[in-house]
Amino acid sequence: MVLAQDESHGNEHIDLAPSIYRQRLVIEGRRELPIGDKDIQEYLSRLSDVCGMTLLIDPVTHRSDRFGWAGWVHWETSGAHFYAWETPLVFFSVDIYTCLAFEPSTAVSFTKSYFDATHITSRAF
């Protein structure tokens, strides 16, 4: 079997599976205080409810001495990853990927409020 290569350049995207619904949202923010293990676990659990997702396992977290905390939650319709830095600044990044529609603005508002973010930005695609 020979697979055709995508020879597009720039920002062009080819949907290779138009019959499968996919939605992504990246949320990034800054805040005053570092984010820890329990914060991430509770955030990902509550994000599941906010986005209307069915939780398959409790959130999993891990800390890297070099890069900081990371977390992941598995939903029936995909999941979300969370990353938190302490240096060079307190910063977080959330990557939500689902095969079930959800309202991005609700997830962004919840995230800003939950972390008391001083700055927040997002990109849905």
For the entire predicted model, the pTM comes to 0.88
Provide the pLDDT for residue 8.
Answer: 52
Handedness of CA 43, 91, 27, 68 (dihedral sign): negative
Provide the pLDDT for residue 3.
Answer: 47
Strand order of the β-sheet with 60-64 is 60-64, 68-75, 78-85, 91-98, 23-30, 119-124
Which stretches in the chain have pLDDT values below 70? 1-11
Q: What is the largest CA-CA distance in the chain?
A: 53
Alpha helices by DSSP H, listed for the chain, are 37-50, 104-115
Alpha helices by DSSP H, listed for 8-97, are 37-50
Provide the pLDDT for residue 82.
Answer: 98
Give the single-character DSSP code of 34: -
